[in-house]
Structure 1
């Protein structure tokens, strides 16, 4: 029996969501980053930083099972995937795809000139983003110790 996943907008920062992001980051991504990169990422996902982005330039959705967060997507400037994390225990169950689909539909509905989306993918998530329709548009980059591959999806 599969567990029902519900998706809702994240309107205010919730500690359980920050904990989810940090847990998945440490288990799946942190080893790709330098100490500086890990510190930069932690600042990026702090309650204060996420709250500021949600109030100014971003929107987010969370996926939940029995009111427990198992995934989050944050979209910045209505066209850039700033974060997409799914609890590693729930990988390969379509949760990332559902979050992305809902977020993309909101981008299209909110922006009549919407042309596509971008993401700076962690090295380990490139194939997941390719399955969502993204293509690599550059080689590996390193910004303040954060290693990533720039990717894009046209409409």
Structure 2
């Protein structure tokens, strides 16, 4: 497996993987409004715009297939982290997160975790930083990861 920056030519594949993983694990926990809100950020135009505005996207490839995608926005917010459902719980998400973390210059990384992903983020070292929130049908747990100072 190898990690690399997302290429424009892989936008469609990455978007499809995110949607598949979202449909498998997060969508069942959300309202119709929440699902529509989330999916509005998965369009090729939306991802391309975030990529061109400086958001960092990392993909994990197994052979030639993309099996995981992560995104950092605003220099320290983990916006997306999704892994092919059949390949979850083998460390792919962790590898992507730590690769994204290498680019973070801030003292912490934030994430608005889906409620069913809180345990996974705690395993990475995140802690809850506020009460559960909801915006446009998406329920989330704000969490923070303290970044070790780089020496």
* Aligned twin of 2:3: 7
SS class of match (2:79):
strand
**RMSD after superposition:** 1.0
Normalising by structure 2, we get a TM-score of: 0.93
Matched, 1:61 2:58: yes
Shift, 1:31, TM fit: 1.2
Paired residues of 1:24 and 1:87 also in contact (CA < 8 A): yes
Partners in 1 of 2:28 and 2:124 — Cα distance?
24
Matched, 1:134 2:126: yes
Shift, 1:34, TM fit: 1.0
Shift, 1:138, TM fit: 1.5
- Name structure 2 gaps, 5 residues minimum: none
Q: In structure 2, which of residues 111, 114, 124 is the aligned counterpart of residue 122 of structure 1?
A: 114
Paired residues of 2:70 and 2:97 also in contact (CA < 8 A): yes
Shift, 1:65, TM fit: 0.8
- Name structure 1 gaps, 5 residues minimum: none
Partners in 1 of 2:24 and 2:94 — Cα distance?
20
Shift, 1:56, TM fit: 0.8
Paired residues of 1:20 and 1:70 also in contact (CA < 8 A): yes
Aligned ranges for residues 1-155 of structure 1 at < 5 Å?
A: 5-12=1-8, 14-107=11-104, 111=105, 114-155=106-147
Shift, 1:11, TM fit: 3.3
Paired residues of 1:137 and 1:150 also in contact (CA < 8 A): yes
Partners in 2 of 1:152 and 1:134 — Cα distance?
5
Shift, 1:16, TM fit: 1.1
